[in-house]
Amino acid sequence: MSGLVVDVSKCRGCGRCVRACASQGIVIQQRLAQVTPNCIACGMCIDACPFDALSIVKDAVDTKSDANGVWVFAQYDSGALAAVTLELLGKARELADDSNTSLTALLAIDSEQECNEIAQKLIAHGADRVLICVDNRFANHTTNVFAAWICDMVNEYSPAILLIGATNFGRELAPCVAAQLRTGLTADCTVLAMDKETGLLHQTRPAFGGNLMATIMCPNHRPQMSTVRPGIFPPSEYCESRTGEIIHTKLRDSIEPNVTLLEKLPDDAGDSLLDDDTLVVVGRGIGSQKNLPLMQKFADLIHAGLGCSRPLVESGWLEYKHQVGQTGLAVAPKVLISIGVSGAIQHLAGIGSAETIIAINPDASAPIHSVATYSIKNDALEVVKELVEQLQP
């Protein structure tokens, strides 16, 4: 059986594994570590063991395949390609070059008119081949229709890698595809790299809990699937002279949208943090909700957008669209002023592309200072009050 195993020749019964375990999955008995039924095989204890006595073993599965090529799903919404599609093409181009394979973009679209122009655009941005399907069943972005087509294409062409943007739509589509293909899916990757020897994709994302990054692989199943948030990778360059192949494909007749769109309520708020060159990002260190207006005032004085860390959204101080981080927005302003934010790894995942970071946080050991260009190790309220006073006309 697979699971966590203790190498009794190496275990000294020190108990570090027991302290590392969050689920009482390991105990010390007769000076040896023993796995209990509570073990969820999370691997925390493996990192904690100084003697290399713990490992997770897995029954071998052999599903060797000749899967080949890197694929990107092109999200096309209301007449435009989603920005994340171009970002994925840039990264996918690198991965394809590193493994000497080709890059294919998948375009499912309901209008014949635009499809060639968009396919050309995908090629100019790096695709060697575009698989297109024009069908009016794609009109309302019902995931089951897209998933059916993508799965048919995967079964026909066997790609090694499939990347999907972690938009709202992509975050629903990707798991539908992964479950149908019974393959692995890693959410919200921040680093993707090719292992040139094994051809395996290293998918890196912040680990669950703790200031750790985890690298995840999908060794025996194809395609290897990842989602990536918008803003994590730079968009690929447009190169007019690139050429590529366009293949028209069909959607199975039997598939019908299983969700009916009754009404669209477009968002009136066009104010996205992604458009701001300057951002003020506030965290729990601002102390209380009643200090928010002061922070907003400071942001207004320097014409900056206002973002925040996750706890502020959880407490209902600001809406989700203000959240910066791995599970919020990945922002890329010229200047980011971070106020009362500790700089947890999930938060840092969203600010890696900011050009200059100015951190205000009295805790000199807060990780935010180690990514900042300028640090002010002082009380946020004091400093911001001064700033507002001095800036006010």
Partner 1 sequence: MRTLVCIKAVPSSTEVKMDPVTNTIIRDGKQSVVNPFDQAALEEAICIKEQLGGSIIVLSMGIPATEGLLRDCLSRGADRGILLSDRAFAGADTLATSYALSCALEQLRTANEFPSLIICGKMAVDGDTAQIGPELATTLGIPSIVNVEKVLAVSEEEITVRRITDLGREIVSCKLPALITVTKDIRIPRMPSIAGVRFGETGPVEVFGAQGVGADATRCGLNGSPTQVVRSFTPERTHEAITIEGTSSEQAAQLIDVLGGFGL
Ligand X SMILES: Cc1cc2nc3c(=O)[nH]c(=O)nc-3n(C[C@H](O)[C@H](O)[C@H](O)COP(=O)(O)OP(=O)(O)OC[C@H]3O[C@@H](n4cnc5c(N)ncnc54)[C@H](O)[C@@H]3O)c2cc1C
Chain contacts with ligand X (rule: CB under 6 A): 209, 283-285, 287, 309-311, 323-328, 340-342, 344, 346-347, 350, 360-363, 366, 379-381
Min dist CB 361 to ligand X, Å, is: 4
In angstroms, rounded to a whole number, what is the distance separating the alpha carbons of residues 248 and 240? Answer: 22
Q: Which does 367 bind (CB under 5 to 8 A by kind): partner 1, ligand X, none?
A: partner 1
Residue type, 300: D
215 touches which of partner 1, ligand X, none (CB within 5 to 8 A by kind)? Answer: partner 1
Closer CB to partner 1, 132 or 145, in the complex = 145
Helix axes 380-391, 292-301, angle to 10 degrees: 40
List the x/- string, 90-109, binding to partner 1 by CB under 8 A: --------------------
- Footprint (CB under 8 A) of partner 1, residues 350-379: 356, 358-359, 367, 369-379
Residue 334 binds which of partner 1, ligand X, none (CB < 5-8 A, kind-dependent):
partner 1
User: Judged by CB, which is closer to ligand X: 135, or 379?
Assistant: 379
Please identify, using beta-carbon distances, which residue of 77 and 245 lies nearer to partner 1: 77
Long-range contacts at 256-263 (CB < 8 A, ≥ 24 apart):
256/137, 256/145, 257/137, 257/140, 257/142, 257/144, 257/145, 258/142, 258/144, 259/140, 259/142, 259/143, 259/144, 260/140, 261/140, 261/142
Site membership for partner 1, residue 30 (CB under 8 A) = no
Q: Does 207 bind partner 1 (CB under 8 A)?
A: yes
DSSP per residue, 290-319: GGHHHHHHHHHHTT-EEEE-HHHHHTTSS-
Map the footprint of partner 1 across residues 44-83, applying CB under 8 A. Answer: 44, 47-48, 56, 58-59, 61, 77-78, 82
The answer to whether 198 touches 238, Cβ cutoff 8 Å, is no
Q: Which stretch binds partner 1 (CB under 8 A): 1-9, 110-118, 119-127, 239-247?
A: 1-9
Which residue among 104, 309, 327, 338 contacts partner 1 (CB under 8 A)?
A: 327
> Nearest approach, Cβ of 167 to partner 1 (angstroms)?
5
Question: At closest approach, how far in Å is the CB of 278 from ligand X?
Answer: 19
Q: Which residues pair with 161 in a beta bridge?
A: 70, 224
Helix (H, G, I), strand (E, B) or coil at 114: helix
- In terms of DSSP bridges, do strands 103-109 and 70-74 run parallel, antiparallel, or are they unpaired? parallel
Task: Say which entry of partner 1, ligand X, none residue 77 contacts (CB below 5 to 8 A, set by partner kind).
Answer: partner 1
Partner touching 306 among partner 1, ligand X, none, CB below 5 to 8 Å by kind: none
Which of 34, 172, 242, 246 binds partner 1 (CB under 8 A)? It is 172
Distance CA 11, CA 34 (A): 10
Q: Is there a contact between 159 and 223 (Cβ–Cβ < 8 Å)?
A: yes
Q: Which is nearer to partner 1, 123 or 154 (CB)?
A: 154
Phi, psi angles (nearest 5°) of residue 47: -65, -30
Picked from ligand X, partner 1, none, the partner binding residue 386 (CB below 5 to 8 A depending on kind) is: partner 1
Q: Of residues 32, 40, 239, 247, which one binds partner 1 by CB under 8 A?
A: 40
Peptide bond into 230 cis (omega under 30): no
Element (H, E) at 33: strand 32-35
Alpha-carbon separation of residue 181 from 44, 121, 148 (angstroms) = 29, 29, 10
> Rule CB under 8 A: which of 305-324 touch partner 1?
none
Distance CA 112, CA 109 (A): 8
Residue 169 near partner 1 by CB under 8 A: yes
Contact set for partner 1, span 212-271 (CB under 8 A): 212-221, 258-267
Which amino acid is present at 256? E
CB of 363 to ligand X, least distance (A): 3
Q: How far is the CB of 367 from ligand X (least distance, A)?
A: 8
**Inter-axis angle of helices 168-181 and 143-157, to 10 degrees?**
50
Least distance to partner 1 from the beta carbon of 151, Å? 10
Residues in the chain: 393
Identify which of residues 223 and 328 has a Cβ nearer to ligand X in the complex: 328
**Residues 6 or more apart whose Cβ sits within 8 Å of residue 198:** 219
Residue 65 interaction partner, one of partner 1, ligand X, none, beta carbon < 5-8 Å per kind: none
